Amino acid sequence: MELSLVFSIRVKYRPTSVCCQPLNTHMKRLLEHLLQEEDCAKIFGKTLFGDLLGGEKDLTQEKEIKKAVQQFFSDKLTYRAKPESVVKAFRALLNCKSKFPAELQPNVTLVYRGVRLTMPDLLGVKDWKFVDETRQEITGTGTYTSKYPIQSWSASKIRAEFFAIDFPSWRTKKLIPTVVVATPDKSDMLFNTAFVTKLKASTKTTAEYSKEQEIVRVSDKPIPCRFVIPVQYIKMTDGITQPVKDHLLATAGLRITA
Contact 141, 225 (CB under 8 A): yes
CA 80 to chain centroid, in Å, comes to 17
Q: Which residues pair with 78 in a beta bridge?
A: none
Q: How far apart are CA 230 and CA 155, in angstroms?
A: 18
Q: Is the pLDDT of residue 258 over 70?
A: no
Mean pLDDT, range 192-214, rounded to an integer: 91
- Let me know if 196 is exposed, middle or buried by CB neighbors in 10 A (0-12, 13-18, 19+): buried
**What is the value of pTM for the model shown?**
0.82
- Residue 74 lies inside a defined structural domain of this protein: no
Predicted pLDDT at 7: 34
Predicted pLDDT at 10: 44
Q: Which long-range contacts (CB under 8 A, 24 or more apart) does 84-88 make?
A: 86/150, 87/149, 87/150, 87/218
Query: What is the count of structural domains for the chain?
Result: 1
Pairing of strands 151-154, 214-217: antiparallel
Percent of the chain with pLDDT over 90: 59
Mapping DSSP to helix (H, G, I), strand (E, B) and coil, where does residue 128 land? coil
Domain residues for the domain of 156 are: 105-251
Per-residue confidence band for 83, with pLDDT thresholds at 50, 70 and 90: confident
